[in-house]
Chains A and B, each alone.
Chain A
Amino acid sequence: MDKMPKWADLFLIPFINLILAFVAAGLVVLAIGENPLDAIYFMIKGSLGSTSGIGYTLYYATNYIFTGLAVAVAFHARLFNIGGEGQAAVGGVGAAVVLLAVDWPHWTLALPFAILGAAIAGAAWAAIPAYLQAKRGSHIVITTIMFNFIAAALLGFLLNGILKNPATQNAETRNFGAGAHLPTAHEMLAPFGIEFSKSAPLNFSFLLAIACAFLVWVLIWHTRLGYQIRAFGHNEGAAKYAGISSVRITILAMLISGALAGMLAINVVMGEQERLIKEFVEGAGFVGIAVALMGRSHPFGIVLAALLFGMLTQGGFELLWEMPTISREMVLVIQALIILFTGALDHMVRDPVERLFIRMKKRAA
């Protein structure tokens, strides 16, 4: 009955999209007089060629898993949460407050509370647009975008005010205590005799992100709440018939979504910076939209897409370093092309591939 096998849907089509994106990006590189093959080489070498590169790649991927999952959970309820950026920023405040308030004796104690702080703060930031959508009909796309700006302003206000470290000129908090230090990949792998780059920011949060991906999978496909979220997302009228409350589902889905976005702070604020700074989210909230789109809102696909975007981010920085003619904007163009081909232009590839499979099936029959 299905038009094509599942593997083609999940792997073949994203793969073709990716190839097309690289071809288009290659043409752009060619147009500014550089060798596209060199560019690809530098990107791959930079992101996977050393433990340091891998460490950075997975560090970025961790962020994208959190924000990708956030977008996906909301999207299963057909809510387009564009506010991952702001929810993550406020999540950072939540984590920082918890980590600054107590002189934690050990990270295993600090982590659960930091997660709670980040998740609750992120969820709270998502709750307002959720309420406005559910009760007042204000469109969630508009409100979440607006809340990104408010979050940025709030973060600046707090970091220049009550959270500011008086010892410096910068808008940042003081460093968290040593007991709040999350183990890095270097520290975790050393006991196994594996030499991992000391400088790479990869830390324990990566495992947390993978665990979250698994939990989201359980939530969506094995719990009653997930069932109701999907039902509501597919068909609001039918959900109403079944007695599923649109208000409840909208708010719950957005709370979970905001909490996941907020947890990005565990990776960046607690795991890497060890203090709260401005603009630590660095666009990961928006990349999460592309990640969820490419991962087809499935946690497994999101992990894969996050790895790819982690490679692109890290590889992009390497490219800047290795090819001086390529500017930061150029790297953004390449990343945007990949988002364009994998997300927005999905049907361009999907329809012909579907036809091909149908023709093949007919010939076999």
Chain B
Amino acid sequence: MNTETKSGRQETAASAIELRGISKAFGPVQANKDISINVKKGTIHGIIGENGAGKSTLMSILYGFYKADAGEIFINGKKTDIPDSQAAIAAGIGMVFQHFKLVENFTVLENVILGVEDGPLLKDSLTKARETLTSLAKEYELHVDPDALIEDLSVGHQQRVEILKALYRQAEILILDEPTGVLTPAEADHLFRILRGLKDQGKTIILITHKLREIMEITDTVSVMRRGEMTSTVKTAETSPEDLAERMVGRKVLLRVDKTPANPGKTVLEVKDLRVVDEDKIERLRSISFSMRAGEILGIAGVSGNGQTQLLEVLGGYQNATGSVMVNGQSIDLTGTHSDGQSRRARGISHVPEDRQAEGLIMEFMAWENMIFGYHHDPKYQKNRWLMDNAAIRTETEAKMERFDVRPPNPRLQAKNFSGGNQQKIVLAREIERDPDLLLVGQPTRGVDIGAIEFIHKRILELRDEGKAILMVSVELEEILSMSDRIIVMFDGRIMGERDPTKTNERELGLLMAGVTDEGEAA
């Protein structure tokens, strides 16, 4: 291993990981098809691709969660078998998952030594870990209080613990799966600084993401995956976001949203002094007030978990609140028997929930059953007093699937058998075609492939241009900036301020999302 010569790191460095001809099938689905890739030591290597392109499968093979059907793995030029994650760790691979694998009620130190304790008594391990953590913190800006409980840490800090865990296990190769999904822009910047620091120390980093901006910002080399195949690997300096998007989707993609100025009409929604205290007596919404008019998109920006979910739930009718909400000039019940999804829908509010798999759809239900979900009381779906008109629902579903380009257009397929984008289109078709006065949309394009994003954005804008009010919650700042007519930023259950999307930028919004108000603005 004499590759650590400073001069030749870029070009002549040996490979840290080399995959040759990796294939993996899940039943009839070929998740990875003959994938070969060579990741050079001491570089940051990006892997992008749409959802379902096979990125996660490939990394799971590398980390020993799945066994490849065919192909070979070389670590530092040596052929290596990785039957389980223990073997991966032994080979110097560390993985930071999208959903952290931390014990919530353990301290940072306890989490770091979990599984690599030096003996039956913890004292020695803890002392050793404390020393290591201190030096790592100095070296890489990885500061975390070693005695803090995980549940008390912010998401950004929890992620640092995951990285520390990997480094403590002497990982030379660090794989990060969608690491910035839960971070504020400032936290993401900090993460990138850490990653650059690690790279300078000769560590190899594989970054899996669907965000083109991050790829451009931090990677040295980028590999594009599409439908289970590694379609191309290029030097980041020699490509552009447009070029990468095209490689991902296989056709030209419009990255910017084409949109005309809004034409706001009468006030549709008026929210005053809305407060939510959850079951744990934690205040989730602290006096929220805003209003919105027909024909405009109000974007709600914020890091997830700052009250946006509760706001959608209150308006959608399944979270009790105090305060007042007026829809089309009439107040709606915020507690009690008339505060449920049914009565909200009757008032012209449609709701595309943030998590389509947990709320918007019943995954085991067929498409046609999902197409009436929430509207199953509508008399037009009943054959008579007793029976539902299943055949008519199927016919209607077929038409809606066609209009929303849901593929495959088969009403009898279970929701779980559709891709994320097509699942989202089913929910959108259901909610938009009810012709609502107010559409609530949470994370309209989370986990949706680029091609479908374009389609979904177009549909939402069309609805706006028909004169409907659209309340859009999204953690994607790009989406907020390009879609909204007005932007509200939420932090810790409060509105931090309102901005005009044409007169603000990601940096300013990012600061508000982190709770920083440099102008002392009050909402």
| A234 B363 Cβ-Cβ under 8 A | yes
| A222 B316 Cβ-Cβ under 8 A | no
B267 within 8 A of A: no
Binding site for A on B (CB under 8 A): 25, 27-28, 316-318, 340-345, 351, 353, 358-365, 369, 373-374, 376-377, 382, 386-388, 390, 413-414, 417
| A238 B318 Cβ-Cβ under 8 A | no
| A228 B358 Cβ-Cβ under 8 A | no
| B376 A241 Cβ-Cβ under 8 A | no
Chain B contacts for A241, CB-based, 8 A = 316, 318, 341, 351, 353, 359-360, 374
Chain B contacts for A198, CB-based, 8 A = none
Query: Which residue from chain A places its CB closest to the CB of B28 in the assembled complex?
Result: A361
Within 8 A of B (CB), among A204-232: 218, 221-224, 227-228, 230-231
B310 vs chain A, min Cβ distance (A) = 14
| Contact partner, B28, options A218, A238, A365, Cβ 8 Å | A365
Chain A contacts for B369, CB-based, 8 A = 227
CA gap between A243 and B353 in the complex, in Å: 13
B285 vs chain A, min Cβ distance (A) = 18
| A1 B341 Cβ-Cβ under 8 A | no
Q: Which of B341, B345, B363, B390 has the most CB of A within 10 A?
A: B341
Apart from A228-B376, A238-B359, A361-B27, list 19 A-B contacts with CB within 8 A.
A1-B413, A218-B387, A221-B390, A222-B388, A222-B390, A223-B386, A223-B387, A224-B377, A227-B376, A227-B388, A235-B358, A238-B358, A238-B361, A243-B340, A243-B341, A243-B342, A243-B345, A362-B28, A365-B28
Chain B contacts for A358, CB-based, 8 A = 27-28
B389 vs chain A, min Cβ distance (A) = 9
B41 vs chain A, min Cβ distance (A) = 38
What would be 22 A-B contacts, judged by CB atoms less than 8 Å apart?
A: A1-B413, A222-B388, A222-B390, A227-B376, A228-B376, A230-B362, A230-B365, A231-B362, A234-B364, A238-B373, A240-B318, A240-B341, A241-B318, A241-B359, A242-B341, A242-B373, A243-B341, A243-B343, A243-B344, A244-B341, A245-B340, A358-B27
CA gap between A223 and B362 in the complex, in Å: 17
Chain B contacts for A227, CB-based, 8 A = 369, 376, 388
| A234 B340 Cβ-Cβ under 8 A | no
| B345 A224 Cβ-Cβ under 8 A | no
Instruction: Determine the main DSSP class of A at the interface with B.
Output: helix
A217 vs chain B, min Cβ distance (A) = 12
Chain B contacts for A139, CB-based, 8 A = none
B503 vs chain A, min Cβ distance (A) = 36
CA gap between A241 and B345 in the complex, in Å: 11
Number of interface residues of A (CB under 8 A): 25
CA gap between A243 and B339 in the complex, in Å: 9
| B317 A243 Cβ-Cβ under 8 A | yes
| B382 A224 Cβ-Cβ under 8 A | yes
| Contact partner, B363, options A1, A222, A235, A362, Cβ 8 Å | A235
Chain B contacts for A221, CB-based, 8 A = 390
Query: Which residue from chain A places its CB closest to the CB of B27 in the assembled complex?
Result: A358
Query: Which residue from chain A places its CB closest to the CB of B29 in the assembled complex?
Result: A1
B1 vs chain A, min Cβ distance (A) = 41
Chain A contacts for B27, CB-based, 8 A = 3, 358, 361
CB within 8 Å for A231 and B341 given contacts A238-B358, A358-B28: no
B234 vs chain A, min Cβ distance (A) = 33
Chain B contacts for A231, CB-based, 8 A = 362, 365, 373
| A1 B351 Cβ-Cβ under 8 A | no
| A1 B417 Cβ-Cβ under 8 A | yes
CA gap between A1 and B360 in the complex, in Å: 22
A237 within 8 A of B: yes
CA gap between A237 and B341 in the complex, in Å: 12
A262 vs chain B, min Cβ distance (A) = 22
| Contact partner, A222, options B360, B365, B377, B387, Cβ 8 Å | B387
| B359 A224 Cβ-Cβ under 8 A | no
Chain A contacts for B343, CB-based, 8 A = 243
| B359 A237 Cβ-Cβ under 8 A | yes
Chain B contacts for A237, CB-based, 8 A = 358-359
Chain A contacts for B377, CB-based, 8 A = 224
